[in-house]
Amino acid sequence: ETGVTQTPRHLVMGMTNKKSLKCEQHLGHNAMYWYKQSAKKPLELMFVYSLEERVENNSVPSRFSPECPNSSHLFLHLHTLQPEDSALYLCASSQTTGAQGYGYTFGSGTRLTVV
Partner 1 sequence: SQQGEEDPQALSIQEGENATMNCSYKTSINNLQWYRQNSGRGLVHLILIRSNEREKHSGRLRVTLDTSKKSSSLLITASRAADTASYFCATGTSGSRLTFGEGTQLTVNP
Comparing CB distances to partner 1, the nearer of 43 and 79 is: 43
Taking a C-beta distance cutoff of 8 angstroms, is the pair 11, 21 a contact? yes
Strands 110-114 and 10-13: parallel
Integer Cα distance of 64 and 76 in angstroms: 7
x/- contact string, 61-90, with partner 1 (CB under 8 A)? ---------------------------x-x
Integer Cα distance of 1 and 97 in angstroms: 23
Per-residue 3-state assignment (H helix, E strand, C coil) for 68-82: EEECCEEEEEEECCC
Which range of residues in 12-20, 62-70, 73-81, 96-104 is near partner 1 by CB under 8 A?
96-104
Q: Residue 108 Cβ, how far from partner 1 at the closest point, in Å?
A: 5
Residue 40 sits in the site that holds partner 1 (CB under 8 A): yes
Q: Residue 70 Cβ, how far from partner 1 at the closest point, in Å?
A: 21
Residue 32 sits in the site that holds partner 1 (CB under 8 A): no
For residue 3, how many other CB atoms are within 10 A of its CB?
A: 14
Integer Cα distance of 53 and 38 in angstroms: 26
Which range of residues in 14-22, 38-46, 62-70, 74-82 is near partner 1 by CB under 8 A?
38-46
Give the footprint of partner 1 on this chain (CB under 8 A): 2, 4, 6, 33, 40-43, 45, 48, 56, 88, 90, 92, 97-109, 111
